[in-house]
Amino acid sequence: MAIELGGPWPKAEKDDFLQNSTLPIRLSLVAEDGYPRVISLWYKYEHEKLYCVTHRSSKLAGLLKGNDRVGFEISGDAPPYHGIRGQGNATIAPLGSNSSLEDLLMRYIGSLDSDFSRWLLSRRAEELLIEITPLRFFSWDYRERMSEVE
């Protein structure tokens, strides 16, 4: 199934943004009570998929076990506004020997040697890999329009 792509960015610009941005992903899920939850996570983008890591006892893990449909957004909070939104399906599995935790630490912290990195790595056996298979991406970009205002 082809991934739908909407908005002003061609696929190459969407891929570049997702591969190089260090903004967290905001993941949206619907909980048992019918209300949406929004959770911010570190992510990486490879082979048209988004990957995150969460602890096996997290509320997020429980929500994903009950409903694999997610919405997401990756964008900054300061002008000029631009980013990516989308929907997809998420699976969770034990992290095992997958390098995603190390990849995320290097991407967001820049080191595996910080106290925080060592703490997260010490819990590796309790971590789950979240794999999001996007169905739709929608980009938006107000940088040009907002630069005219200044």
Q: What is the pLDDT of residue 142?
A: 84
Residue 40 Cα distances to 3, 5, 27, 62, 149, angstroms = 23, 23, 6, 16, 30
Q: What is the pLDDT of residue 144?
A: 79
Q: What is the pLDDT of residue 73?
A: 97
Domain containing 8: what range? 4-149
Half-sphere exposure of 142 (CA within 13 A, CB side): 11
Q: Which tokens sit at 92?
A: 């969770």
How would you classify residue 56: left for phi > 0, otherwise alpha for psi between -120 and 50, otherwise beta?
Answer: alpha
Total Cβ atoms within 10 A of residue 103:
15
Q: What is the pLDDT of residue 149?
A: 54
Q: What is the pLDDT of residue 51?
A: 98
Q: What is the pLDDT of residue 148?
A: 62
Number of domain units in the chain: 1
Q: What is the mean pLDDT of each run of 10 residues along the chain (150 residues)?
A: 88 96 96 93 96 95 92 91 95 94 96 94 95 96 72
What pTM value is reported for the model? 0.92
Q: What is the pLDDT of residue 78?
A: 82
76: domain CATH number is 2.30.110.10
Total Cβ atoms within 10 A of residue 63:
20
DSSP state of 125: G
Three-state secondary structure of 59-124:
HHHHHHHHCCEEEEEEECCCCCCEEEEEEEEEEEEECCCCCHHHHHHHHHCCCCCCHHHHHHHHCH
Q: What is the residue whose two structure tokens read 């992290």?
A: 95
